[in-house]
Homo-oligomer: A and B are copies of this chain.
Amino acid sequence: MWTQALVSNLGGLGFDGEFHLVNPRGGEMLGRPVAREIPEGVDAAYVMVGTERAPEVLEECGRRGVASAVLLTAGFKEMGQEGAILEKRLVERARELGIGLLGPNCLGFVNYHRRLAAYGLLVVPPLLAGGVALVSQSGAMLLHFHRMAQARGIGLAATVSIGNEGMLTAADFFEAFIDDPRVKVIGALLEGIRDAAGFLRASERALAAGKPLVVFKVGHTEAGRRSISAHTGSLAGEDEVLDAVFRRHGVVRVRSLEELVETCALLAHAGWPAGSRTAVLTTSGGACGIVSDLVEGTGIEMPDFPENVKRRLAALLPVFGTPQNPMDTTGVVVDQPALLAACLDAVNEEGGYQAFFINSDPPREPGTNPSRVEERFASLAAAVARLPFAAVAQTSAVDLTDYARETLRGHGLHLCNGLTLGLRALDGAIAYSRMRARMRRAEAPRERAAPELVAGRSGALSESDSKRLLELYGVVGPEEWLAADAEEAAAAAESLGFPVVVKVHSAEIAHKAAAGGVRLRLTEREAVRQAFEEVLEAARRAHPSAVIDGALISRDVRDARAELILGAKRDPMFGPVVLVGAGGVFVEAVRDVALRLAPVDEEEALEMLDELRVPVAGDRGAAARALVGVGELALDLGERLVALDVNPLFVLERGVVAADALVVLS
C-alpha cells in the first residue's frame, strides 16, 4: 500500500526530479524497473524496509552519498527501551555518515512548491502552493492537512511528518521554515515537545521574524504531573505552564485540527491586525446574532460605530437596515454588490477600527450570468484591499466549490471556513498581534548565583529559613519571634502586640495547619502560652519523628485588603515559572491563577494581577514587586528550585506581608 501510494505521489503530481525503486531482488514493480542497489547521484532516500534491515540500508545510503533519508520504518523509540537504543545507534551512525534523517516512524513530507510528495499515503491533486508550512508528529495528519487545504483553498508550502524526531526535530523544521522566504506561517500538531530548548529558540526567532507559529498541542506528558509538597506544584500544571511559555514566546495556541489550519491560513493571507477593535459586517440578522455570541470570552472587541459612521451608514442602508456593530447589511447586498463596499469604506474612513470581520457567501457557481458574479467577487476584493486588516468568512463550514476556490484565488481573496472558525482565527491573529506588541528585546543574561543561604540544603526549608530567603528578594514577612518555650512565646506576644498567631516551627512539617500546628487571633498572654503547648503537642502527634524547633510568634494581620498566593516552580522542560493566585481556602478549589515564565517585570506582574477573577484590593504595586522578587529568586535558584509558596501574601492598604512561606529545594 505504502509503495503504491509513494510511487503514485512521486510520479503523478508534477515533480520534475527523477526517482528510482530499489530492492535487492530487482525485477519490476508497478510497471517500473527496480534497481538492485541505490544508483549514483541520488539526493534523498525514502526507506521502508523492516526494522532489522534499516542499519544496512543506511550504510548503503552513506556509500552512495545520499544526503538525506526519510525512515518510514517503525519499531524504535515508540516501542520502549530496546527500540530507543536501536534508534540512538542508528541516528549516531547517520550523523557519522553525514545523512540528515527524518523519522524513524514517520510518513515523510510534501513540498508543495516542488510538487514533491515523499509521503506514504496517496496525495490526490490539486496541490495548492502557498505560504503555510505544517508539521505533525502523527504522519496520517498530513493527509488531513492536505484535504482541508484543498477544501478551503489554502496554499501550503510544505507538510512534514516528524515521527520519533530521532535526529531532525520539530524545532529544526521551524528553523528551516523561518529561513524559507516562501513560508509565511508555521503550524504544528504536537503530542509532546521533545526538544524544549530548540523549541524556545525557534519560537523566539519566529516571533522576531514575524512568522507566526501556531500550535495545537494534544495529550499530556508525564513529567508535568509530579506531585510536590508546595501548592504551586499542582496549581501550575503542564497545561498552564505551556500557556505561559507560548505567551512569552509568541506562539498562538489553538484547540482543534480545524482551528490550526484556519488560523494559519488567515495569518498567511491577511497577516495580523494592529489591535483588537473590530467592525463586523454580515449579510443576515442571524449571522449578527451568531457573531455576538461567539465573540464572548475572546480577545475580539466589537465597540459600536461612532455617530458619524452611523449617519453615513444610515444613508447607505435600505430603510429596514440598522447601522450598528455587528451590522447586517441586509439581503439586498446580493443584488447590490457595491453596497457592501460602500459600507466598509464608511466604517473604515471614520471608525478607527483595526480589524474587519466580514461575513460573505460568494456564489458557488457562475450561474446564468457569470459576468455579474465576477463583478461581485471583484467588488468584494477591491473593498477588502482598502482595509487595514480583514477576515472574510462564509457563514457555515462547507467546502468551497472548485469554481469558488479558483475565482477567489484569482481575486486574491481568502475565505474563512464559517463564522465559528473564522472568529477563532481572528482571535488567534489578535493574540499574535498582542504578543508582537509586547515582544521585548532579549535581556543580556546576567550571572545567576543561588544565595549563600541555600548552600548545602535540600528538601523543604523551615518557615523562617524560607522567609529569610525571600527577604533577600524584597518579599518581607511580619515581625516574628521563634519561641522555644511557652514563656518565651508569651513574652514575644507582649512585645509584638496582640492579636498574634502561633505556628509550630519545623522544616519537616510542610503543612502546619493540617497538623494542628497553627492558632490564630490570640488576644492575651495566657492564651498564647496555652496555644504554644497545644500546637507543639498536636504537631508531635501528627509527626512523631519530626525535629521541632519551637513555635513562631507573629502579629496577626487583621487589616488585609486581599489575600494572595505567590509561587514558583521549576518546570522540567521550560525552567522556572512564577504564579499568583487567589489565596485562602480557594487556592485549590477555584484555581484562580495567572502564570508566567520567570522573570517578570513589574508591568507584567500587574498584568497578572489583572488576570485574576478575584479583584485584588490594596497596594497592588507592592504585590507586583513581591511577584517580581519571587521570579528573581526562582531564576537564581536555577535547578535547585523544586517549588516555593508564599501563602498567604496579605495585601494591605500600604505594603504587603508574606505571612507564611515554604521553599522546597532539590
A-B contact pairs, 19 of them (CB 8 A): A1-B334, A138-B284, A138-B286, A138-B287, A141-B284, A144-B396, A147-B398, A148-B397, A148-B398, A189-B286, A191-B286, A218-B292, A257-B290, A257-B395, A257-B419, A258-B396, A399-B399, A589-B615, A590-B590
Are A285 and B191 touching (Cβ within 8 A)? yes
Are B418 and A290 touching (Cβ within 8 A)? no
* Complex CA–CA separation, A419 to B284 (angstroms): 29
* 10 closest Cβ pairs, A-B complex: A138-B286, A218-B289, A140-B284, A219-B289, A399-B399, A218-B293, A144-B396, A256-B420, A589-B614, A151-B398
* Complex CA–CA separation, A189 to B395 (angstroms): 14
**A89 CB within 8 Å of chain B:** no
> What's the least CB distance linking A151 to chain B, in Å?
4
Contact of A147 among B79, B396, B590 (CB under 8 A): B396
Q: Which A residues between 375 and 400 are near B, CB-CB below 8 angstroms? A: 395-399
Which residues of chain B are within 8 angstroms of A261 by Cβ–Cβ distance? 396
* Complex CA–CA separation, A136 to B586 (angstroms): 43
A292-305 interface bits toward B, Cβ cutoff 8 Å, 1 = contact, 0 = none: 11100000000000
Which residues of chain B are within 8 angstroms of A365 by Cβ–Cβ distance? 124
> What's the least CB distance linking A411 to chain B, in Å?
22
What is the interface of chain A, defined by CB distance below 8 A to chain B? 1, 74-75, 78-79, 124, 136-141, 144, 147-148, 150-151, 189, 191, 218-220, 255-258, 261, 283-290, 292-294, 320, 331, 334-335, 364-365, 395-399, 417-420, 523, 582, 585-586, 589-592, 613-615
> What's the least CB distance linking A448 to chain B, in Å?
35
Q: Given A218-B290, A589-B614, is A258 in contact with B147 using a C-beta cutoff of 8 Å?
A: no
Are A418 and B286 touching (Cβ within 8 A)? no
Which residues of chain B are within 8 angstroms of A592 by Cβ–Cβ distance? 589-590
Residue of B nearest to A331 (CB): B140
Q: Beyond A141-B286, A257-B396: 9 further Cβ-contacts under 8 Å?
A: A138-B286, A140-B331, A140-B395, A257-B397, A258-B396, A399-B399, A586-B590, A589-B615, A590-B592
Residue of B nearest to A320 (CB): B74
**From A136, A141, A294, residue with most partner B Cβ within 10 Å:** A141
| Total copies of the chain | 2
* Complex CA–CA separation, A75 to B321 (angstroms): 11
Q: Given A137-B286, A218-B290, is A258 in contact with B148 using a C-beta cutoff of 8 Å?
A: no
Are A289 and B191 touching (Cβ within 8 A)? yes
Which residues of chain B are within 8 angstroms of A124 by Cβ–Cβ distance? 364-365
* Complex CA–CA separation, A141 to B287 (angstroms): 8
Which residues of chain B are within 8 angstroms of A334 by Cβ–Cβ distance? 1
* Complex CA–CA separation, A288 to B78 (angstroms): 15
Are B79 and A320 touching (Cβ within 8 A)? yes
Residue of B nearest to A523 (CB): B523
Contact of A395 among B78, B144, B420, B613 (CB under 8 A): B144
Residue of B nearest to A142 (CB): B286
**From A258, A334, A523, residue with most partner B Cβ within 10 Å:** A258
Which residues of chain B are within 8 angstroms of A585 by Cβ–Cβ distance? 614
Which residues of chain B are within 8 angstroms of A189 by Cβ–Cβ distance? 286, 290
* Complex CA–CA separation, A558 to B395 (angstroms): 57
> What's the least CB distance linking A105 to chain B, in Å?
9
Which residues of chain B are within 8 angstroms of A137 by Cβ–Cβ distance? 285-286
Are A418 and B78 touching (Cβ within 8 A)? no
* Complex CA–CA separation, A563 to B397 (angstroms): 46
> What's the least CB distance linking A365 to chain B, in Å?
8
* Complex CA–CA separation, A78 to B284 (angstroms): 14
> What's the least CB distance linking A132 to chain B, in Å?
15
Which residues of chain B are within 8 angstroms of A150 by Cβ–Cβ distance? 398
